[in-house]
């Protein structure tokens, strides 16, 4: 008989029988040497009692073991299905209770991993949906322009207009793809922000350089108040990207001959960057939604954009331990306040 295939019940039976037989043999040997019948009687009764108590212990142990294995199987089945939490007896100090405690910890870890996978799946589905929605319009426009140019004869001037329209749609598609690449790299950790001590004026200048041409075209006045001595750890490239996105929005939604004001102040724990404009303003009910990915108000679809700039700005600032606030009123402009930690 192989030891690996021997059941616990059979093993305990063999053990009890072995103890009884050994006791009987010892009693018989002792009786033969001493010739005492009374001792043989007492020995026989003792051996019988030991055997009976062994059987009782065997039944009790087997019952407890069966209850534990059944409970363990039910618990594991519930954990696999994700619907049942292990019930641990916090007062008990038995080995079974210790196993229950560890099962509960394992269950919590499994639930955390399950939730994380579900969240990542939902984020991926949302991203795919956003990409599909955002690329649909420029691709449809490109197909329409291409079909029109192939099927209709037109003068050279009209042809140039269609080519310019096609180029505009390609630029929009390229901008969309680049924005989504930046977003996905930041969200997945492919790109990590490196905070290094640097003059903030240089970072702000980089951001401002990107809006000078469109700002001049709309004749928007710009005023900047940033002390040259301000220096603190931040990622220059990505901080400039975040500030540029906010400034670009300010230029887009500020009417011709309006103004934009940039002010940098030192607070106790943060540096505060205010970007104020005299644009159309944001309704209060929309202010919480403007930082969502690909979100755009219904009233601004005639203005170029895909609704990802503010989302990227918030992600970049948040990854550096900062945050963004907005104060706005319809017709009175908006002020975006960027708070960047000193350390």
Band (90; pLDDT cuts 50, 70, 90): very low
DSSP 124-175: HHHHHHHHHHHHHHHHHHHHHHHHHHHHS---HHHHHHHHHHHHHHHHHHHH
pLDDT tens for residues 313-342? 998 999 999 999 999 988 889 999 999 999
Contacts of residue 218, Cβ cutoff 8 Å, sequence gap at least 6: 251, 254, 255, 256, 257, 258
Highest mean pLDDT among 88-92, 119-123, 264-268: 264-268
Min mean pLDDT across 53-57, 188-192, 208-212, 232-236 is at 188-192
Distance of alpha carbon 68 from alpha carbon 57, whole angstroms? 16
For residue 259, report the phi and psi dihedrals to the nearest 5 degrees. -145, 155
Q: Are strands 270-277 and 259-266 parallel, antiparallel or unpaired?
A: antiparallel
> pTM for the whole thing?
0.58
Name, in order, each residue with C-beta under 8 angstroms of 113's C-beta and a sequence gap of 6 or more: none
User: Using 50, 70 and 90 to split pLDDT, how confident is the model at 92?
Assistant: very low
pLDDT at 302 over 60: no
Compute and round to an integer the Cα radius of gyration of the chain. 39
Q: Do residues 295 and 256 make contact, with C-beta atoms less than 8 angstroms apart? A: no
Long-range contacts of 14-23 (CB under 8 A, 24+ apart): 15/54, 16/51, 16/54, 16/55, 16/58, 17/51, 19/50, 19/51, 19/54, 20/47, 20/50, 20/51, 20/54, 23/47, 23/50
Helical H runs in the chain? 8-34, 37-81, 95-151, 156-188, 200-209, 212-217, 236-252, 309-319
What is the tens place of the pLDDT at every residue in 149-173?
888 887 888 888 878 888 877 877 7
CA dihedral sign of residues 44, 50, 52, 54: negative
Average pLDDT, the chain: 79
pLDDT at residue 230 is higher than 90: yes
pLDDT given for residue 116 in this prediction: 81
Residue range 193-214, pLDDT digits in tens = 889 999 999 999 999 998 998 8
Q: Can you tell me the distance from the alpha carbon of 293 to that of 309, in angstroms, rounded to the nearest whole number?
A: 8
Asked whether the predicted pLDDT for residue 289 surpasses 80, the reply is yes
Out of 225-234, 274-283, 288-297, least confident range: 288-297
């Amino acid at each position: 008989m192989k030891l690996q295939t021997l059941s616990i019940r059979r093993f305990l039976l063999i053990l009890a029988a072995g103890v009884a037989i050994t006791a009987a043999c010892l009693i018989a040997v002792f009786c033969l040497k001493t010739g005492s019948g009374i001792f043989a009687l007492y020995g026989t009764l003792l051996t019988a009692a030991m055997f009976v108590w062994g059987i009782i212990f065997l039944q009790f142990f087997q019952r407890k073991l069966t209850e534990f294995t059944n409970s363990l199987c039910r618990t594991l089945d519930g954990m696999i299905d994700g619907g049942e939490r292990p019930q641990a007896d916090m007062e008990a100090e038995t080995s079974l209770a210790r196993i229950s405690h560890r099962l509960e910890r394992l269950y919590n870890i499994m639930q955390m991993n399950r939730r994380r996978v579900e969240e990542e799946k939902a984020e991926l589905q949302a991203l795919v949906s956003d990409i599909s929605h955002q690329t649909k319009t420029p691709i449809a426009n490109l197909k329409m322009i291409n079909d029109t140019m192939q099927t209709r004869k037109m003068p050279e001037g009209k042809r140039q207009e269609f080519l310019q329209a096609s180029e505009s749609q390609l630029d929009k598609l390229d901008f969309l793809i680049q924005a989504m690449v930046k977003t996905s790299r930041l969200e997945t950790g492919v790109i990590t922000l490196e905070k290094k001590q640097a003059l903030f004026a240089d970072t702000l200048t980089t951001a401002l350089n990107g809006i000078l041409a469109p700002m001049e075209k709309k004749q928007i006045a710009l005023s900047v108040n940033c002390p040259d001595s301000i220096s603190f750890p931040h990622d220059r490239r990505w901080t400039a990207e975040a500030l540029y996105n906010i400034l670009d929005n300010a230029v887009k939604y500020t009417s011709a001959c309006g103004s934009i004001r940039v002010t940098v102040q030192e607070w106790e724990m943060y540096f505060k960057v205010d970007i104020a404009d005299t644009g159309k303003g944001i309704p209060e009910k929309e202010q919480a939604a403007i930082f969502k990915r690909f979100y755009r108000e219904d009233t601004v679809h005639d203005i170029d954009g895909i609704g990802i700039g503010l989302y990227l700005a918030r992600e970049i600032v948040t990854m550096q331990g900062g945050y963004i606030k907005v104060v706005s009123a319809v017709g009175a402009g908006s002020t975006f306040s960027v708070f960047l930690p000193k350390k």
